[in-house]
């Protein structure tokens, strides 16, 4: 990887790195396209991660095909435009308060997880 390290993408709970290689190629291309650094707030999460453990079913991050990027303002707009043009299928937007971020994933449609889909936190 050119723009990311395993350290910043590993589970913050157990320390495992299980990011999907194809997904990371897309994220690398996205980072190259927008031409600004990504501050990763969350990437891979093991099923025992406190955020995942509270959910009824495993979330996108447990697949290794999801990432949260700290971003706001004009850069958030550029990131959204590029993510949509690259076909990322799950986009979550938190643009209020002090911990602003955008979630990106490339999961397929599932009865419990429709895609393409955009949501806000």
- Summarize pLDDT for 47-101 with one digit per residue, the tens: 999 999 999 888 999 999 999 999 999 999 999 999 999 999 999 999 999 999 9
Domain boundaries, the chain: 6-120
What mean pLDDT value characterizes the chain? 96
How confident is residue 109, by pLDDT bands cut at 50, 70 and 90? very high
The topology under which CATH files domain 6-120 is Muramoyl-pentapeptide Carboxypeptidase; domain 2 (3.30.1380)
Query: What pLDDT score does 91 carry?
Result: 98
Residues 6+ apart with CB under 8 A from 95: 72, 76, 120
What is the distance of C-alpha 30 from the center of its chain? 12
């Amino acid at each position: 990887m050119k723009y990311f390290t395993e350290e910043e993408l590993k589970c913050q709970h157990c320390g495992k790195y299980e990011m999907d290689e194809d997904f990371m190629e897309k994220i690398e291309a996205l980072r190259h396209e927008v031409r600004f650094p990504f501050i990763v707030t969350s990437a891979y999460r093991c099923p025992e991660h406190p955020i995942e453990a509270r959910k009824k079913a495993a979330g996108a991050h447990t697949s290794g095909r999801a990432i949260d990027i700290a971003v706001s303002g004009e850069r958030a707009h550029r990131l959204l435009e590029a993510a949509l043009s690259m076909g990322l299928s799950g986009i979550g937007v938190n643009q209020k308060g002090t911990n602003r971020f955008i979630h990106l994933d490339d999961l397929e449609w599932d009865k419990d997880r429709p895609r393409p889909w955009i949501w806000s936190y």
